[in-house]
Amino acid sequence: MTPPTDPARTVAVVTLGCARNEVDSEELAGRLAAGGYRLVEDAEGADAVLVNTCGFIESAKKDSVDAILAATDSGARVVAVGCMAERYGSELAGALPEATVLGFDDYTAIGDRLDDVLTGRPLVPHDPRDRRTLLPISPVDRSAVVTAPDAPVIPGHGWLQRRRLASGPSAALKLASGCDRRCAFCAIPAFRGSFVSRPPAEVLGEAQWLAAQGVTELVLVSENSTSYGKDLGDLRQLERLLPQLAAVEGIVRVRVAYLQPAELRPGLLEVIAATGGVAPYFDLSFQHASPTLLRRMRRFGGTDDFLALIERARALAPAAGFRTNVILGFPGETEDDVAELERFLVEGRLDAVGVFGYSDEEGTEAMGLPGKLDQAEIDARVRRITDLVEELTAQRAEDRLGERVEVLLTEDLSTGEGSGVWAGHAAHQDPEADGTTTVSGVPDGAVAGMLVAAEVVDTEGVDLVATALVPAVHA
């Protein structure tokens, strides 16, 4: 008699942080599935739990530790990967003996590493290093190194084994990994490495694969999308790639996230604002608006520059969407700096703003700067700007009353008392972070992932309420 085959080992994947981490998790899931693991949603009863951590700011690191500890309650073996695991390595392993800590260089052999964990084979956690030293300083010299057989792992370059963990019609598509900027508050370049673009053909291939999985909206992500192509010798690469992505069969919308204001070239601005199938959506990393404080942050621009940039985009696409993040309490920030930020927010009329309080991050220039603010003062400034942002973004939503919007349908809200009501998001709304649009009067036969033209008739904070303009429905 043939002995029964051992059932596949099971693994649950928990993801924290940004859309870039979500892509990494799906690539890890693809490698694990190819290695014979069965992916499950619930950690309870799983053989292992893979926690993809975030290491960006103090609150994100706390969330990651909490997620690791929560995973251990399931009784499964816990493996920590991702930015926090890479950034702290052996230090994190010593602080959390409940988990095995793996770095980016383990990604290509993640199935083997999980086998090691489940069979009790000891693994030595890595000592953190500055990953920028793994590649040439000159961007144009990097491509040959990355494609070498023994090259260090660049997270986000293994899409051929990607396995979707989400089921919605929107999906993140990674353009690149790493960052060459030296913002005083940010440690990401040290543990993510230097900027490395993916070849355009590879990005297009993954877009086609995602479309075959039922995705109709692509969200292009990276640490800095405006740098795409510089290491390939062509800074206009994204301007050519966007129309090609929009033309992929099955894709109805492409949006670009993580743009740097100082690098947003006029040609790229025009392509985003005026190309059919590309959302006129500008996710711009302003961080502040005071020119003096921005220089301390090792950044460029200020209120007047940023307002001029926004106006150039609105001249091409009056209904364009704008989102940003701002940091309050950076060392040396004065009341005048905060007032300048308020002026920018009032005049900029942005659709969404993330407000964060400054926290010291190891290995950053800001750690050693004078002029540190008390935490109570930072918290007070965060509350002050958050209250202002909530008021301003609600007003911006009201500005859209009577506007025609293209809504990507995501969820049928119809009940027995009514039909044709769907949730979705318009072109100015990121699918994860910028509010939603509820559309009534959607024709029968609509499915998630369709675009529906609608007129905005009401608002609820930043959320829109709209009525479908029948028969303007696009598959």
Whether 473 is in a domain gets the answer no
The CATH number for 455's domain is 2.40.50.140
SS3 content of the chain, % helix, strand, coil (to 5): 40, 20, 40
Spatial CB neighbours of 336, under 8 Å, sequence gap ≥ 6 = 290
| pLDDT for the residue numbered 59 | 81
ω into 471 cis (within 30 of 0): yes
**Shared-domain flag, residues 258 and 305:** yes
Q: Are residues 92 and 166 in the same domain?
A: no
Please give the full DSSP string across 349-393, using - where no structure is assigned: --SEEEEEE----TT-GGGG-S-PPPHHHHHHHHHHHHHHHHHHH
Q: Are residues 222 and 117 in the same domain?
A: no
How many structural domains compose the chain? 3
pLDDT at residue 2, rounded to an integer: 41
Domain-ending residue, one of 125, 147, 175: 125
Query: Is there a domain that residue 236 lies in?
Result: yes
DSSP string, 93-156: HHH-TTEEE--GGGGGGHHHHHHHHHHT---PPPPP--GGGGS-SSGGGHHHHHTSTTPPP-TT
Identify whether the C-beta of residue 225 lies closer than 8 Å to the C-beta of residue 257: yes
192 lies in a domain?
yes
Which of these three, 371, 399, 427, is where a domain ends? 399
List, as residue ranges, the binding site for [4Fe-4S] cluster.
18, 54, 83, 179, 183, 186
Domain CATH for 154: 3.80.30.20
DSSP type of residue 284: B
- Residue 60: per-residue pLDDT: 82
Same domain, residue pair 346 and 207 = yes
Tokens linked to 62: 């706390």
Alpha-carbon span 140 to 161, nearest angstrom: 27
Residue 474 falls within a domain, yes or no? no
Distance between CA atoms of residues 235 and 228, nearest Å: 7
Task: State whether 410 and 372 are in the same domain.
Answer: no
* pLDDT at site 292: 97
At residue 398, the 3 state secondary structure works out as: helix
**Does pTM surpass 0.85?**
yes
Of the candidates 411, 406, 407, 405, which has an alpha carbon nearest to the alpha carbon of residue 447?
Answer: 411
Q: Torsion over CA of 209, 81, 232 and 298, rounded to 10 degrees?
A: 130
The amino acid sitting at 197 is: S
Q: In b/e form, how buried is each residue of 415-428, taking b as 16+ CB within 10 angstroms?
A: eeeeebbbbbbbbb
Q: Based on the domain organization, do 67 and 205 belong to the same domain?
A: no
pLDDT at 415: 76
CATH for 72: 3.40.50.12160
Residue 475 lies in a domain: no
With a CB cutoff of 8 Å and minimum separation 6, the contacts of 421 are 412, 413, 414, 415, 438, 439, 440, 442
Q: Is residue 274 part of a domain?
A: yes
Cα–Cα dist 211/218, whole Å: 9
Spatial contact of 188 and 194, defined as CB atoms under 8 Å apart: no
Q: Are residues 197 and 330 in the same domain?
A: yes
State the binding site: 18, 54, 83, 179, 183, 186
Looking at residue 256, its pLDDT comes to 98
Say how far apart CA 318 and CA 314 lie, in whole Å.
4
Provide the domain limits for residue 427. Answer: 403-468
C-alpha closest to that of 474 among 451, 455, 453, 440 = 451
Q: Are residues 435 and 388 in the same domain?
A: no
Neighbours of 95 (CB within 10 A): 12
Dihedral through CA 256, CA 260, CA 266, CA 267, nearest 10? -40
Which residues, at least 6 apart from 105, have a Cβ–Cβ distance to it below 8 Å?
126, 152, 153
pLDDT reported for residue 187:
93
Residue entry with tokens 């355009």: 200
- Find tokens 């690791």 and name the residue: 68
Per-residue pLDDT of the chain (475 residues; tens, 9 = 90+): 343 345 689 999 999 999 999 999 999 999 999 999 999 998 888 999 999 999 877 888 889 999 999 999 888 999 999 999 999 999 999 999 999 999 999 999 999 999 999 999 989 999 999 999 988 889 988 877 776 666 666 665 566 689 999 889 999 999 999 999 999 999 999 999 999 999 999 999 999 999 999 999 999 999 999 999 999 999 999 999 999 999 999 999 999 999 999 999 999 999 999 999 999 999 999 999 999 999 999 999 999 999 999 999 999 999 999 999 999 999 999 999 999 999 999 999 999 999 999 999 999 999 999 999 999 999 999 999 999 999 999 999 999 999 999 999 999 998 765 679 999 999 999 998 889 999 999 998 899 999 999 999 999 999 999 999 976 556 5
Of 360, 383, 399, which residue is a domain's last? 399
Can you name the residues that pair with 228 across neighbouring β-strands? none
Which residue is associated with the tokens 């918290």? 379
Residue 277: which residues within 8 A CB-CB, separation 6 or more? 243, 246, 247, 251, 252, 253, 254
Q: Are residues 249 and 368 in the same domain?
A: yes
What's the distance, CA 352 to chain centroid?
A: 15
Task: Check whether residue 166 and residue 187 sit in a common domain.
Answer: yes
5 within a domain of the structure (yes/no): no
Q: Tell whether 284 is covered by a domain.
A: yes
Write the DSSP string, 292-319.
Answer: HHHHHTT----HHHHHHHHHHHHHH-TT
* Neighbour tally for 97: CB within 10 Å: 8
Distance between CA atoms of residues 16 and 259, nearest Å: 22
State whether 223 and 238 are in the same domain: yes
Residues 52 and 183 in one domain: no
Q: Are 427 and 217 in contact (CB under 8 A)?
A: no
Cα–Cα distance, 103 to 41 (Å, whole number): 23
Q: Could you tell me whether strands 77-81 and 48-53 are parallel, antiparallel, or unpaired per DSSP bridges?
A: parallel
Tokens coding 367:
């750690």
